[in-house]
């Protein structure tokens, strides 16, 4: 008979705060990919347009923003073509907001499956962030198409070396959405009130971010608030790298990175703390 003693385990009521089960999570990496695949496949099953739907949403939002904020309200777009300006903001913002909204309901959405089988719970929010990345990638393609089109039209687009910061920006958006989402999800398992605030709060947050206006034309009175918002630096850097306009500064980006890391670590800590008993209260 095989000797199983090498596979020793222990279940107790108390677990160290810093026992994050990262090793367990790594063991389940296949599940992560399968969940991402599931999300992607089930999204367009039984639709006629299939993955095209990934394009349609940002496209329409861009058109509406161009019309409402650009033409009616006449908000400055830093001398960029309006659709291109909004699309840059929307693409980046959508990724962040998808990550945070989906992650913030992860316990409730998966209560049945979490109640029946154990796997490292961290897998679920991670799979959400990665699934959204697929969608984000598709939307980036659309953004590049727009860029190409306007470049040919002779618009003043200055793709520059800072575009190489793109991977860092993706990481920051994902980490921020994941971290904040996990904190919210942990709090909502017991007190549902917060869930109502999330959708509403994210909408408000968008207006405190430079999605529909450039930082340069933000009101001076509230500028500190907009800069304190860590997503502002991400979106500004994104625009600056790809389009050549926007406010970029290392201190601003450094501050965003630091805050994001703090939120991510807090998120993981709180999430793993709540995870072991949430089934009893959700």
Partner 1 sequence: MPAAIKVKNLSKAYQLGQIGTGTLQSDFKRWYAKARGKEDPFLKIGETNDRTVKGTSDIIWSLKDINFEIEQGNAVGIIGRNGAGKSTLLKILSRVTAPTTGIITGNGRIASLLEVGTGFHPELTGKENIYLNGAILGMRKKEIKRKFDAIVDFAGVDRYIDTPVKRYSSGMYVRLAFAVAAYLESEILIVDEVLAVGDAEFQKKCLGKMNDVSKGEGRTVLFVSHNMGAVQQLCSECIYLKNGFISLTGPTKLVIGKYLLSDNNQSSQWIRHDNYFDNEYFTIEKIATVDESLSEKAVFTNNKKIGVRIEGYVKKLNSSVVIGIAIYNQDGHLLFWSTNTDKNTSEWTSLKEKYNKLVMWIPQHFLNEGSYRIECIVAIHFREWIIEPEKNSPIIYFNIEGGLSESPNWLTSRPGLLAPIINYEKLED
Binding site for partner 1 (CB under 8 A): 1-2, 4-5, 7-13, 15, 28, 30-31, 34-35, 37-38, 41-42, 45-46, 112-119, 190-192, 276-277, 279-281
Dihedrals φ, ψ of 159, to 5°? Answer: -65, 130
Rounded CA-CA distance 191/57 in Å is 32
Rounded CA-CA distance 37/89 in Å is 27
Q: How far, in Å, are 156, 165, 229 from residue 253 at the CA level?
A: 24, 10, 11
Q: Which is nearer to partner 1, 85 or 114 (CB)?
A: 114
Rounded CA-CA distance 259/246 in Å is 21
Q: Which is nearer to partner 1, 31 or 205 (CB)?
A: 31
What's the closest the beta carbon of residue 34 comes to partner 1, in angstroms? 5
Q: Which is nearer to partner 1, 152 or 280 (CB)?
A: 280
Q: Which is nearer to partner 1, 4 or 200 (CB)?
A: 4
What's the closest the beta carbon of residue 122 comes to partner 1, in angstroms? 14
Do 62 and 87 contact (CB within 8 A), yes or no?
yes
What's the closest the beta carbon of residue 135 comes to partner 1, in angstroms? 17
Q: Which is nearer to partner 1, 77 or 272 (CB)?
A: 272
Dihedrals φ, ψ of 190, to 5°? Answer: -100, -45
What's the closest the beta carbon of residue 40 comes to partner 1, in angstroms? 11
Burial (CB count <10 Å: 0-12, 13-18, 19+), residue 70: buried
What's the closest the beta carbon of residue 129 comes to partner 1, in angstroms? 18
What's the closest the beta carbon of residue 32 comes to partner 1, in angstroms? 9
Helices (H), 159-229: 166-188, 193-207, 223-228
Terminal C-alpha separation, the chain: 42
Q: Which is nearer to partner 1, 4 or 18 (CB)?
A: 4
Do 202 and 100 contact (CB within 8 A), yes or no?
yes
């Amino acid at each position: 008979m095989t000797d199983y003693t090498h596979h020793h385990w222990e279940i107790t009521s108390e677990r160290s705060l810093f026992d994050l089960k990262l090793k367990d999570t790594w063991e389940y990496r296949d599940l992560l990919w399968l969940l991402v695949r599931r999300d992607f496949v089930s999204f367009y099953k039984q639709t006629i347009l299939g993955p095209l739907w990934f394009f349609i949403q940002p496209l329409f939002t861009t058109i509406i923003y161009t019309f409402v904020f650009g033409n009616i309200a006449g908000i400055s777009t830093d001398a960029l073509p309006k659709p291109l300006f909004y699309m840059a903001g929307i693409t980046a913002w959508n990724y962040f907001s998808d990550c945070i909204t989906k992650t913030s309901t992860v316990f409730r959405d998966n209560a049945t499956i979490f109640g029946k089988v154990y796997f490292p719970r961290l897998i679920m929010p991670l799979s959400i962030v990665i699934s959204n990345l697929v969608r984000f990638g598709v939307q980036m393609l659309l953004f590049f198409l727009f860029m190409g089109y306007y470049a040919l039209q002779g618009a003043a687009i200055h793709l520059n070396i800072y575009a190489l910061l793109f991977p860092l920006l993706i990481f920051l958006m994902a980490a921020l959405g994941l971290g904040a989402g996990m904190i919210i999800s942990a709090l909502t398992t017991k007190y549902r009130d917060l869930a109502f605030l999330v959708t509403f709060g994210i909408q408000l947050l968008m207006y405190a971010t430079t999605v529909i206006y450039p930082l340069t034309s933000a009101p001076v009175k509230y500028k500190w608030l907009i800069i304190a918002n860590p997503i502002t630096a991400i979106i500004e850097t994104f625009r600056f790298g790809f389009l050549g306009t926007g406010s970029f500064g290392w201190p601003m980006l450094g501050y965003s990175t630091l805050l994001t890391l703090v939120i991510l670590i807090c998120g993981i800590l709180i999430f793993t703390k709540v995870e072991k008993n949430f089934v009893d209260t959700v």
